[in-house]
Amino acid sequence: MEADDNIPATFASPACFMHEVDPRYTGLPGPLDRQAWTDVDRWRRSERERLIAARLAVPAEMRARQSEAIAAGIVAEIGDVRGRIVSAYWPFRGEPDLRPLLAEIAKRGGRTALPVVVEKGRPLEFHLWQAGDPLSRGVWNIPIPAERNRVLPDIVLSPVVGYDAACYRLGYGGGFFDRTLAAMPARPRVIGLGYSAARLQTIYPQLHDIPMDLIVTETGTVRPAPQAEVSTVRALT
Ligand SMILES: Nc1nc2c(c(=O)[nH]1)N(C=O)[C@@H](CNc1ccc(C(=O)N[C@@H](CCC(=O)O)C(=O)O)cc1)CN2
Ligand SMILES: Nc1ncnc2c1ncn2[C@@H]1O[C@H](COP(=O)(O)OP(=O)(O)OP(=O)(O)O)[C@@H](O)[C@H]1O
């Protein structure tokens, strides 16, 4: 087109200032901290292995007692469950066994569900399941409800491999719970749970990590400490 001949040469879009943004907010590792994220990844991998091996080394009957104490802590936290949907999980690799709690919730008029891996890299689904309902094998052979009654739980019980004082959760490394919570239309109450021996100074949270509302262990309940910013605002008003 001839009119274009008079337009001075310019860029098709504004210059990109991405290089001036903290790389963590672009979702891309920048050259300076790529090494740091690699280190965190490597550290997470070895901590997962260490913590899973440590809990599997605890005698089964001690783990069973700890599971009971954790279940009691959860009951105290969730209160009246009538008409509510609580999701838990089918335990593996030494996780606390909350199956008796699921039965208790059903007895108290709540509904219970299990997480289902649809595909690696995708959010989990939650399908209704209660004691006695048939199970089938899902991805990684994890037992899942045989019938597909998809629900959105009000309360999600999320087993931790490790946790920290800010209630961040270290899981198995699939990113499933983070992806799931990020994709849910309404945020459920998220209760992390695990053994107190799984406590870490920090999990080095990354932008995708979503903290739990609280963590229940066999020795008590951990709530995130109030943020420094929040107390500053309070102090000013
Ligand atoms: N009991 C229980 N069920 C659960 C979870 C959980 O934490 N506990 N999940 C919570 O998210 C989901 C499953 N998450 C999982 C994440 C990773 C692996 C796993 O074995 N990963 C392999 C790597 C596999 C691969 O990369 O191909 C591994 O760690 O070796 C298993 C389950 C849903 N069900
Ligand atoms: N909301 C998200 N969107 C895209 N990718 C995500 C999201 N959340 C997590 N991931 C990816 O998943 C990977 C594993 O995350 P992370 O190490 O936090 O797993 P985890 O919480 O220990 O595992 P899990 O929840 O399966 O037990 C990360 O590399 C991250 O990039």
Going from the N-terminus, what domains does the chain have, and what CATH number goes with each? 2-228 (3.40.50.10420)
Quote the mean pLDDT of the chain. 88
pLDDT tens digit string along 160-184? 999 999 999 999 999 999 999 999 9
CA of 15 to the centre of ligand 1 (A): 42
**Tokens encoding 212:** 């739990």
Give the pLDDT of residue 26.
54
Nearest CA to ligand 2 atom 7: 179
Nearest CA to ligand 2 atom 10: 175
pLDDT tens digit string along 5-59? 454 555 455 555 555 555 555 555 555 578 888 999 999 999 999 999 999 999 9
* Ligand 1 atom nearest to CA at 95: 1
Tell me the CA distances in angstroms from 153 to 35, 81, 124, 181, 184, one per residue in order.
38, 12, 12, 11, 10
**Counts for the chain of helices (H) and strands (E), in that order:** 6, 12
pTM of the model: 0.86
Name residue, tokens 């040469």.
Answer: 9
C-alpha 48/C-alpha 228 separation (Å) is: 29
User: Is the CB of residue 193 less than 8 Å from the CB of residue 216?
Assistant: yes
Nearest CA to ligand 2 atom 27: 171
Give the pLDDT of residue 160.
98
